[in-house]
Chains A and B, each alone.
Chain A
Amino acid sequence: MFGKRLLPLAIATAVGIGLTLALVFFYAPNDADQGFVQKIFYVHVPMAIVALFGFMAAGIMAVKHLRTGDQRWDMRSYVAIHMSIILGVGVLVTGSIWARAAWGHWWVWDEPQLVSFLIVFLLYCVYYPLRFSIEDRERQARYSSVFAIVAGAFVPLNFIAVRLAETFTHPRVLGTTAGGMPGSMRFTFIVALISMTLLFITLMKLELTSKRASDQLKRLRRKLEAQAASA
């Protein structure tokens, strides 16, 4: 059962988030240019990274589903996409707040990571209408997995395309290399990234456990009804 490992995982996540918050507010220095508002970076960027890896992990789970025919892999793929979409909303909202604070606009088009993320997010939103407009459960799982694989392959391709297109007019604090970051910032960022990963895994397991429980309940209820009908 998933339930057993859930408690230690949840505790580790809570500790991680507590530690991250403490580090963000009391340890990490204020950014020289942007000041306090730059600290949203410790939420925004880990969230984006975890969501993107969540999307790509869903693609790998989908490959396993198609290879083995095991429906549990489809369920994992579905929950991974679901959680990444939820984080994705967070990414777009925090990105927007940050853009407003730093550049005075709620949305900036020359931030290639954010623009790529928006495209990826829009694509993955279609997962829901696709999945739920297929009635046969087996086919639903198969088609969803094909989507997850195609979209997973699209994520890196899209990043390359948008990166080539943008001209990098704005100076950006967060280069892709962590080299430009002072040590204390980098340490805080790594702790934040680990906590966000833990949070993602905990939420995924929680959702999977509850889905499994409700499935079991449905099955038991049907059995009872069948017994009542035959009695």
Chain B
Amino acid sequence: MIRSAGAILRKDLRLEVRTKESVPAMVLFVVVVYVLFHFGLDRDTLSGDLASGVLWVTLLLSAILGVNRLFAAEQLDGILLAPIDRTAVWLAKATALFIYLVAVQIVAIPAFALLLLGPGLDPGIVPILLLADIGLAATGALVAGLASETRARDLIVPLLLLPLLMPVLIAAARATTPLFDGPDGDLGRWLGLLGLYDLVFVLVSIAVFDYLLED
């Protein structure tokens, strides 16, 4: 399964490098939303829970763009004809989304610090980002599969994805608040919640994803 997932992933990354459909659009979206927040809140700098909320809501919304494109260029029948475990499709798509999210954040987090963040950037944010990205990627690939056969894919993806990501938002936003000069919190609790979320959604996806592909 790892080998076939690797083949699909390499193909997806090659397509992304060539067409540049997902990552650049997501980066652009994130920066535009930061500017929107600057004017919408009429603030030059943010700190504490407000900064944390703005950062995470923006990242979550940008994930929708990536999820929407995840199956758009796929020639699924060609993959389904091969003698491979079908969960490999989910694994490849989730990994691709994870890589896109990390790539977006490498630009988006410094951009956030530059444009909106009052206090300096704390490297402590990295583990929070990575744990949240795993959950986002697992759930995102599952939702992309669920919405891929519906008539109104663009509509279903955000409606389905955003409520499902609510625990990620809660945990990630609370965990980053102290890093942005907010009141101290219980970091272990929020990392634990993110880990639990990742575990549940990885397992659920592995259990149900095949059923989306058989016909």
Select A150's contact among B156, B196, B204, beta carbons within 8 Å.
Answer: B204
The distance in angstroms between the C-alpha atoms of A209 and B208, with both chains bound, is 29
In the complex, whether B142 has a CB less than 8 A from a CB of chain A is yes
Contact A126 B196 (CB under 8 A): no
Contact B170 A165 (CB under 8 A): yes
Residues of A within 8 A of B (CB-CB), count: 28
The distance in angstroms between the C-alpha atoms of A149 and B164, with both chains bound, is 13
In the complex, whether B102 has a CB less than 8 A from a CB of chain A is no
Interface majority SS (helix, strand, loop, mixed), chain B:
helix
The distance in angstroms between the C-alpha atoms of A129 and B158, with both chains bound, is 12
In the complex, whether B146 has a CB less than 8 A from a CB of chain A is yes
Task: Note all chain B residues with C-beta closer than 8 A to A119.
Answer: 163, 166
In the complex, whether B171 has a CB less than 8 A from a CB of chain A is yes
Contact A142 B211 (CB under 8 A): yes
In the complex, whether A25 has a CB less than 8 A from a CB of chain B is no
Interface majority SS (helix, strand, loop, mixed), chain A:
helix
In the complex, whether A226 has a CB less than 8 A from a CB of chain B is no
Binary interface profile of A, 129-160, with partner B (CB < 8 Å = 1, else 0)?
11001110001001101110110011001101
Binary interface profile of B, 192-215, with partner A (CB < 8 Å = 1, else 0)?
010011001000100110011011
Task: Note all chain B residues with C-beta closer than 8 A to A153.
Answer: 200, 204
CB within 8 Å for A130 and B212 given contacts A139-B149, A158-B167: no
In the complex, whether A181 has a CB less than 8 A from a CB of chain B is no
Nearest CB of A to B172, in Å: 11
Q: Which of A39-86 contact B (CB under 8 A)?
A: 66
The distance in angstroms between the C-alpha atoms of A130 and B155, with both chains bound, is 10
Select B170's contact among A133, A135, A162, beta carbons within 8 Å.
Answer: A162
CB within 8 Å for A164 and B193 given contacts A134-B150, A150-B142: yes
CB within 8 Å for A126 and B163 given contacts A146-B146, A153-B204, A160-B193: yes
Task: Note all chain A residues with C-beta closer than 8 A to B149.
Answer: 134, 139, 143
14 contacts between A and B (CB under 8 A): A119-B166, A126-B156, A129-B155, A130-B160, A134-B150, A146-B212, A149-B208, A150-B146, A150-B204, A153-B204, A158-B167, A160-B193, A161-B197, A164-B171
